[in-house]
C-alpha cells in the first residue's frame, strides 16, 4: 500500500517515524508543512521539515521532540553575550542545517531539492517533501498583539496570546513542491498525522491543487492530535477553546469534515464515537499516545490496518 | 602620549595588545583593516577586526592567533556532513559574532557601531575602529587563478597562488569610519603594527583622507613584519618575492617610503641599518618577535619609547 503522510512537527514526526519503520521508501512519502518557516538571524529556518527529517534520521532530541540529540549551545550563549536574539533556540548542530540551507536557497536551489540532498546526507531513505517551494507564511491573529508571524506566536510568545484567527500569506501563489501531487496521485491512502489541524495540516490543504489531489485519493485517514480534551503537545486545544470550540477529538473530526474517509482517535475519547460516526466517516478508537518508539510502530501498524479497512471495506483486524 | 595603531590580523593584534596593557583607553585607538572582510554562508565576516577584538578581550586562541580559545566545531562538522563549504573554519563561538553582526548590519547599523557594541560586551575598553564602514575589498591577482577575493587567496588557496598584484575595490568611495580621522588628528603618534604591508596596511592608507591625516601626524612609526627575510606569519615575504622584491626589513622600509618618520626592525636584520637610515627615517633595531604576552608588552614599551624619541628628538632609553 502506498501512503502519503501529511505532517507538522513533533506529533506528526512520531507517526511518520512509525510508518517509516513499516513501509519501504517506495511506499511512504511525507509531505510537510512549511507555513511555520521563517527568517531569523539571516537564516531560513524550517522547523517542521527539520523535526521530521531529524526524527527519521535518528538525530532528533528524544526529550524535546524538536532539535538535535547531543546538541550544544555554544553559539547561542555567545549570541546572548552580544545582546542578540535568543528567543528561538538554535543549537550548534542545528545551526549548520540553517546555514547550509540558506546558502543553497540563495544560490537558487529549491527547498525541495535542498531537503532531498540533506535527507541523503542524513541517511533518510523515505522521500520528505516540503508542501511547497514558495514562501507560504502562517500568521496568527491575537487579541494582545494583533497579527503575529507563526514563530513569534509559537516560540517568542510561548503560545500565550489569545488566538482569534489565522491567515496564510502567499497561499494563493504557492504551488505544490515537485513530487507532491504525483505522490498523492499514486497513493492508496493519505494519512493526516496527529499534528495541529489549524496551523500544521490546514496550510498543506491550502496549497493550490493539494486539496483536490487528496480528495481524489480513495482513503483519507486522520489521527486526532487531541486526547482527553488536551493536545499532546502544542496549542491545538487552546486554539479550539479560544475560537469558541470545545477542544476534543470530535472538534478535530468536525474540523476535517468533508476531507476524510476515516478518523482515528484515542480510547480515552470513546464517548464521541457516535457523534463522529454521525459525520459520515468511519471511526475507530485506539491507544494513540506515542511515548516510546514501540508506540510509534504500534500506532503506525494500526493506522495502516485502518487504511486497509477503509480501502476494502472489510475489517482485517 | 596619544597613539593610533594601524593593524591587520594576528601580528598587528599582538602589538596592539601590548600597547593596550600600557596605555589607557584615552591614549590608544586602534584602526583595523577591513579589506579582508567578506560574505560567506550569508554571514559578514571581518577577520582582522575579530582577531584584534578577540585578542584585546582575552578571548583569542593563543595557539593559532586567530579564532577563539576554547572553540568548538560542532556546526562546522555538521556543515561538512551536508556538503557545505568548510574551507573557512568557523567555530561555534565565532559563529555567534558573525550571525549577530550580519543581523545588525542588515538592520542598518554601521560596522563601527556594531564593533563598538561588541567591544563593550566583550570588555574591550580601548576604541577599536574599522577603517571604513563601507565595502572595501582587497583582491589579489594571481598567476594561476586570475583575480581572487582576498579570503579565497588567503584561506581557500592557502596563499599558494603566485601573486602579481592587488586591487582595492570600493576604495574610491570608502570613507573613514566615524572617529578614525578624529583619532589620527588628535594622535601624537601613529604606529603601523607588524602586519602585512600589502594587504593589511596599504588598504588603510587607501581610504579617502586617512593617508593625508596620517601625514599630518608628527610621529609615524612602523614595526617590520619581516624578520630574517621571513614573515612571522602570513604571506608578506612570499608576496615581496613574487613581486620581484627581495623580502627583508629593508623592503618593508622602502614600501613605506614617504609615509614614516621612524622604523623598527629586528636585531637579526641589523645589516640593513645603513640602507634604511639612508631612506631619511630614524631607524632602530630591537627584539621584535612576540612569542609571549611579556614580549608584547616589552615591544610595545620600546615602540612607545621610540615614538617619544621621534617626537622629541631626544633618546630616552
Question: For B95-108, how does the pLDDT look when each residue is reduced to its tens digit (9 = 90+)?
Answer: 999 999 999 999 99
Q: At what angle do helices B111-122 and B92-106 cross, to 10 degrees?
A: 140
Task: Compute how many other C-beta atoms are within 10 angstroms of the C-beta atom of residue B221.
Answer: 24
Chain B interface, best mutation among A70, A85, A96, A120, by max B CB count within 10 A: A96
- What's the alpha-carbon Rg for chain B, to the nearest Å? 19
CB atoms closer than 10 angstroms to residue B27: 16
B201 secondary structure, DSSP code: I
Q: How many CB pairs under 8 A join A and B?
A: 102
Report the candidate in B300, B294, B290, B221 with the shortest Cα–Cα distance to residue B261: B221
Pairwise CA distance, residues B225 & A124, whole Å:
52
ipTM of the complex, rounded to two decimals: 0.92
Dist. CA B44–CA B58, nearest whole Å: 22
Q: For residue B122, which residues of chain A lie inside 8 Å, CB to CB?
A: 81
Identify the contact set of chain A against chain B, taking CB-CB distances under 8 A: 41-43, 72, 74-79, 81-85, 92-93, 95-97, 99-100, 102-103, 106, 117-118, 121-122
Bridge partners of B137, per DSSP, are: B169
Which of B58, B96, B98, B118 is the mutation pick for testing A, counting most A CBs within 10 A? B96
SS3 content of chain B, % helix, strand, coil (to 5): 40, 20, 40
Q: Tell me the nearest-neighbour CA distance from B79 into chain A, angstroms.
A: 5
pLDDT digits 0-9 by tens, B224-255: 999 999 999 899 999 999 999 999 999 999 99
Name the grid cell of A96: 549548520
In the prediction, which pLDDT does B65 show?
86
Asked if A84 and B103 come within 8 Å (Cβ–Cβ), the reply is yes
Rounded to a whole number of angstroms, the distance from the CA of B141 to the nearest CA of chain A is: 26
Residue B171: what pLDDT?
Answer: 95
- pLDDT at position B162 is 97
Where do we find the cell 582582522? B48
The parts of chain B modelled with pLDDT lower than 70 are 313-317
This prediction has a pTM of: 0.93
Q: Which residues of B34-45 are buried (b: 16+ CB within 10 A; e: fewer)?
A: bbbbbebbbbbb
Give the bridge partners for B231, in sequence order: B226
Cα torsion B76, B139, B244, B266: sign: negative
Beta bridge pairs of residue A222: A192, A263
Residue A97, min C-alpha distance to chain B (Å): 7
For residue B108, give how far its alpha carbon lies from the nearest alpha carbon of chain A (Å). 13
Residue of A244, A304, A294, A266 whose CA lies nearest to A14: A294
Q: Are B49 and B96 in contact (CB under 8 A)?
A: no
- The b-or-e profile of B96-125 (16+ CB within 10 A means b, else e) is bbbbbbbbbbeeebbbbebbbbbbebbebe
* pLDDT for position B313: 59
**Inter-residue contact B75 to B94 (CB < 8 Å):** no
pLDDT, one tens digit per residue, over B174-189 is 999 999 999 999 999 9
Please state, in angstroms and rounded to a whole number, the distance separating the CA atoms of residues A242 and A161: 10
Please give the domain boundaries of chain B with CATH numbers for all domains: 3-136+172-312 (3.40.50.10680)
Q: State the angle between helix axes of A92-106 and A111-122 in degrees (0 to 180), rounded to the nearest 10.
A: 140
- Shortest CA distance from B94: residue in chain A: A75
- At A122, list the grid cell: 542524513
Q: Match 563593550 to its residue by C-alpha cell.
A: B120
Residue B311 is predicted with a pLDDT of 84
Residue numbers in chain A where pLDDT is lower than 70? 313-317
Confirm if B148 and B140 have CB atoms less than 8 A apart: yes
The residues near A31 (Cβ < 8 Å, ≥ 6 apart) are: A4, A5, A6, A7, A129, A130, A131, A180, A183, A184, A204, A210
Amino acid at each position: 500500500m502506498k501512503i502519503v503522510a501529511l505532517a507538522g512537527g513533533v506529533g506528526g514526526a512520531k507517526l511518520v517515524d512509525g510508518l517509516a519503520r513499516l513501509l519501504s521508501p517506495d511506499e511512504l512519502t511525507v509531505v510537510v508543512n512549511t507555513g511555520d518557516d521563517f527568517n531569523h538571524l539571516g537564516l531560513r529556518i524550517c522547523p517542521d521539515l527539520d523535526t521530521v527529517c531529524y526524527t527519521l534520521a535518528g538525530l532528533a532530541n528524544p526529550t524535546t521532540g524538536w532539535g538535535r540529540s547531543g546538541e550544544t549551545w555554544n553559539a547561542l550563549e555567545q549570541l546572548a553575550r552580544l545582546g542578540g536574539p535568543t528567543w528561538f533556540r538554535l543549537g550548534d548542530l542545528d545551526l549548520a542545517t540553517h546555514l547550509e540551507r540558506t546558502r543553497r536557497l540563495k544560490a537558487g536551489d529549491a527547498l525541495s531539492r535542498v531537503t532531498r540532498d540533506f535527507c541523503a546526507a542524513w541517511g533518510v531513505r523515505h522521500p520528505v517533501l516540503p508542501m511547497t517551494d514558495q514562501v507560504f507564511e502562517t500568521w496568527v491573529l491575537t487579541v494582545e498583539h494583533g497579527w503575529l508571524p507563526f514563530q513569534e506566536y509559537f516560540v517568542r510568545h510561548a503560545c500565550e496570546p489569545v488566538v482569534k484567527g489565522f491567515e496564510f500569506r502567499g497561499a494563493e501563489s504557492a504551488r505544490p513542491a515537485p513530487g507532491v501531487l504525483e505522490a498523492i496521485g499514486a497513493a492508496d491512502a493519505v494519512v493526516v498525522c496527529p499534528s495541529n489541524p489549524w496551523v500544521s495540516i490546514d496550510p498543506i490543504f491550502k496549497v493550490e491543487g493539494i486539496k483536490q489531489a487528496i480528495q481524489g485519493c480513495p482513503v483519507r485517514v486522520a489521527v486526532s492530535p487531541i486526547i482527553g480534551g488536551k493536545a499532546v503537545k502544542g496549542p491545538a486545544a487552546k486554539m479550539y477553546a479560544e475560537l469558541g470550540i470545545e477542544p476534543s477529538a470530535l472538534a478535530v473530526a468536525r474540523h476535517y469534515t468533508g476531507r476524510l474517509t476515516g478518523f482515528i482517535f484515542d480510547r480515552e475519547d470513546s464517548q464521541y464515537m457516535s457523534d463522529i460516526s454521525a459525520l459520515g466517516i468511519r471511526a475507530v478508537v485506539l491507544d494513540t499516545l506515542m511515548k516510546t518508539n514501540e508506540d510509534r510502530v504500534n500506532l503506525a501498524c494500526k493506522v495502516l490496518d485502518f487504511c486497509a479497512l477503509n480501502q476494502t471495506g472489510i475489517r482485517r483486524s
